[in-house]
Amino acid sequence: MIKKITTDDLRRMNGSEGLVLQGCGGELDEWVTGINDLLTEEGILLEGDTFKDVSSFEHDGLTNLLFSMDDVKLDIGKMAMWRLKSHSSLGGTWLSDFVPNKLGGFVGEKTLEQEYPDCPLIGADSNIYNLMGIASRTLKKCGMKDQAAEMCERITASGSYDEALNIIGEYVNIVSAEDMDEDEDQGMTMM
């Protein structure tokens, strides 16, 4: 059975690898069967194994499939060559390439070019909803409305106070209110 996921789900799959096929039209079950058969014939899938964990998602108006490579017996060298040969017709790419190049990176993965806005949480009322509100306002002031909404959604679904704090730290640089006042007095920008 093919699971339907979102691009946000993809951004949380750091540490997993898979094959992304872009622009899959028609019956998705037929795609899965066809790819499994083709990769078996090519000697890529080994010992009768198949891709069982397959997900579909929408991006840029296309239906795409993610074939998770976790716990699949395959010849990765042959798989890499097949992916390169079939890229022009199937848009095949690795999950670890697709997310950074098409979706802006994995959640929680800080890249050199990313800058998180300073957010004055140290010394603030430690109620998680108060901290979430301060972080959300900070993100919105910096033009990061989508990230603010995503952060709030993840925090409200989190299972603990510590997990919620870690999520906030994935979106903002946590600083003390006193540090922010000093920076403003010196005319510095907060980014």
Left (φ > 0), alpha (ψ -120 to 50) or beta: where does 111 sit? Answer: beta
Q: What are the chain's domains?
A: 3-102 (3.30.70), 118-185 (no CATH)
Beta bridge partners of 20: 66, 93
Distances (CA, A) of 129 to 15, 69, 95: 30, 38, 34
The β-bridge relationship of strands 93-94 and 18-22 is antiparallel
CB atoms closer than 10 angstroms to residue 57: 18
Give the predicted TM-score (pTM) of the model.
0.58
Digitized pLDDT (tens) for each residue of the chain, 191 residues in all: 899 999 989 998 988 999 999 999 899 999 999 999 999 999 999 999 999 999 999 998 999 999 999 999 999 999 999 998 888 888 899 999 999 888 888 886 554 445 788 999 988 898 999 999 999 999 999 888 989 999 999 999 988 888 898 899 889 988 887 766 544 443 334 43
